[in-house]
C-alpha cells in the first residue's frame, strides 16, 4: 500500500489555512451562477478556473465542453506521481437566480454559539469546490505519491446534467475512483441516492362551448386531474418511491371545455425494480372519458445509486483515513436527492458522494455551512488522495 500523508500533519495544515479556504468559498459564492444565467455561468466558470490555477498552477491538460443552452463543463487534469487517477466532480451552478445575493441575510449564531456562514449555493455546493481544490494542494505539500487528479466542473447539475452527463460518464470510465464534492449528510458521506424521473404528461381532449354544448366537449383538465390523483396512489413511501405533481396547466378560456392540459411530475425511486413498476402502473391508468388521450413522457433523469461492490472498498478506505485523522467512525447515508454520482454508480464504478460541506438548507433560503468543519472535510479528501496513488483494488 502507498504511504499516505501523516494524518496529524494534514489536519493541522488544513486548520492553518482554514481562513484562506473560507475566503475562496466566499469568493465563489459572491459570484452568482444560477442554472439559467448563461453569462453568469460563463464568468463563474472562468473565476473557478482562475482560482484552481492560482492554488495549483496550470493543469497538464484542460478542456472546455460547450453546454449549449446549459452551462459549460470544464475538465482540468493534474498529473500524479503514481499510476492512480482520481476524478473530483462538482457543479458550479446553483438553484438561485441572479440577484438573490443582494437580499440574503447572514444567520445568527446557533443556540450553541456555533458560527454559520450563509449564501446562495454555499452549501450546495461551492464549499465542496473550494475544499476539493485545497485538498489536492495540501496533499501535494505532504510530499507523498499522489494519483493524477481530474477536476470536473459542470454548470447544469441542478437542471439534470443534460449536457454534462456524457462528459461525466466518459471521465468516470477513464479514472480509477470518482469523489463527488456534493455536501455531506451532516458529516456523513452519501452512498445511496434515489433515482429521479421528470415526467411530462399531456392530456388531449375535445374543445366545445361550456354553455351551449358542454356535452360535445371532453375536458383535458378533468381527465388530467383524474390521472394526477391516480398517479399519486402509485407512490410507495415504504419502498422509497414518491410521486409529486408540481406543475399543472391547461385550457384556453374559462368558457371553453379544455382541449389540452399538461402536468409536470417529479418521481423518486430507490431501485430499478420500483422504476419499472412505476412505468408500468402509470401507463395503465385510465381516465373516465375515453375521448381524452393521455401521453406520458417517461423521462428518467438519473438512475438510483446504491453502494455497489466497487465502491465498498472506497468507503472502507475513507473510514480508515477518518479514524487516522481523529474523526472516529465516518458514517454513510442514503438520501432522497440525486447527484452526478448516480451516473457513476450506475456504471458499476467506484464512487463516493457527499465529500463536501457540512451544514444544511440545500435549495432553501438561509442555506449555510459550519466553517469550523472546513479543515476536517478538506483533510479527509486530501488523505484519500494520498491513499489512491495506486489504483483501488476491491
CB 294 within 8 A of CB 201: yes
pTM to 2 decimals?
0.90
Q: How far apart are CA 18 and CA 31, in angstroms?
A: 21
The tens-digit pLDDT sequence of the chain (394 residues) is 455 567 788 999 999 999 999 999 999 999 999 999 999 999 999 999 999 999 999 999 999 999 999 999 999 999 999 999 999 999 999 999 999 999 998 877 666 778 999 999 999 999 999 999 999 999 999 989 999 999 999 999 999 999 999 999 999 999 999 999 999 999 999 999 999 999 999 999 999 999 999 999 999 999 999 999 999 999 999 999 999 999 999 999 999 999 999 999 999 999 989 999 999 999 999 999 999 999 999 999 999 999 999 999 999 999 999 999 999 999 999 999 999 999 999 999 999 999 999 999 999 999 999 999 999 999 999 999 999 999 886 5
- Secondary structure class of 127 (helix, strand, coil): helix
On whether the CB atoms of residues 316 and 324 are closer than 8 A, the answer is no
Q: What is the pLDDT of residue 239?
A: 95
φ, ψ for residue 120, nearest 5 deg: -65, 115
310 φ, ψ (degrees, to nearest 5): -75, -30
How far from 279 is each of 274, 283, 292, CA to CA, in Å? 9, 6, 20
Coil, helix or strand for 360?
strand
196 alpha-carbon distance from chain centroid:
12
Cell of 304: 438510483
Measured CA to CA, the distance from residue 365 to residue 59 in angstroms comes to: 36
Identify the sign of the CA torsion 305, 33, 378, 183: negative
Query: What is the pLDDT, as a whole number, of residue 3?
Result: 53
CA neighbor of 70 nearest in space, from 167, 159, 151: 159
Between the CA of residue 145 and those of 3, 84, 245, what are the distances in Å?
A: 7, 10, 51
Amino acid at each position: 500500500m502507498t504511504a499516505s500523508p501523516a494524518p496529524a500533519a494534514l489536519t493541522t495544515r488544513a486548520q492553518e489555512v482554514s481562513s484562506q479556504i473560507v475566503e475562496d468559498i466566499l469568493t465563489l459564492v459572491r459570484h452568482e451562477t444560477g442554472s439559467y444565467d448563461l453569462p453568469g455561468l460563463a464568468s463563474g466558470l472562468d473565476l473557478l478556473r482562475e482560482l484552481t490555477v492560482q492554488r495549483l498552477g496550470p493543469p497538464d491538460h484542460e478542456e472546455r465542453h460547450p453546454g449549449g443552452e446549459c452551462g459549460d463543463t470544464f475538465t482540468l487534469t493534474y498529473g500524479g506521481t503514481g499510476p492512480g487517477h482520481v476524478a473530483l466532480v462538482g457543479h458550479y451552478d446553483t438553484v438561485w437566480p441572479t440577484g438573490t445575493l443582494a437580499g440574503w441575510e447572514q444567520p445568527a449564531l446557533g443556540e450553541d454559539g456555533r458560527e454559520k456562514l450563509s449564501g446562495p449555493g454555499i452549501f450546495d455546493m461551492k464549499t465542496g469546490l473550494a475544499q476539493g481544490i485545497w485538498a489536492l494542494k495540501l496533499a501535494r505539500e505532504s510530499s507523498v505519491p499522489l494519483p493524477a487528479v481530474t477536476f470536473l466542473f459542470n454548470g447544469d447539475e441542478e437542471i439534470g446534467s443534460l449536457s454534462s452527463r456524457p462528459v461525466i460518464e466518459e471521465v468516470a470510465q477513464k479514472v480509477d475512483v470518482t469523489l463527488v464534492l456534493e455536501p455531506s449528510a451532516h458529516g456523513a458521506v452519501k452512498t445511496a441516492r434515489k433515482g429521479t424521473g421528470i415526467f411530462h404528461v399531456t392530456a388531449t381532449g375535445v374543445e366545445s362551448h361550456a354553455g351551449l354544448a358542454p356535452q360535445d366537449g371532453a375536458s383535458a383538465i378533468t381527465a388530467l386531474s383524474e390521472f394526477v390523483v391516480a398517479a399519486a396512489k402509485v407512490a410507495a413511501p415504504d419502498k422509497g418511491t414518491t410521486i409529486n405533481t408540481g406543475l399543472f396547466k391547461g385550457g384556453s378560456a374559462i368558457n371553453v371545455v379544455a382541449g389540452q392540459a399538461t402536468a409536470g411530475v417529479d418521481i423518486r425511486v430507490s431501485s430499478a425494480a420500483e422504476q419499472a413498476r412505476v412505468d408500468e402502473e402509470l401507463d395503465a391508468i385510465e381516465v373516465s372519458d375515453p375521448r381524452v388521450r393521455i401521453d406520458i413522457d417517461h423521462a428518467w433523469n438519473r438512475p438510483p445509486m446504491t453502494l455497489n461492490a466497487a465502491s465498498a472498498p472506497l468507503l472502507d478506505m475513507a473510514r480508515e483515513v477518518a479514524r487516522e485523522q481523529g474523526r472516529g467512525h465516518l458514517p454513510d447515508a442514503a438520501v432522497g436527492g440525486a447527484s452526478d454520482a448516480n451516473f457513476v454508480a450506475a456504471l458499476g464504478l467506484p464512487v463516493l458522494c457527499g465529500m463536501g460541506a457540512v451544514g444544511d438548507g440545500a435549495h432553501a433560503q438561509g442555506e449555510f455551512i459550519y466553517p469550523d468543519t472546513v479543515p476536517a472535510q478538506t483533510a479527509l479528501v486530501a488523505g484519500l488522495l494520498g491513499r489512491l496513488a495506486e489504483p483501488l483494488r476491491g
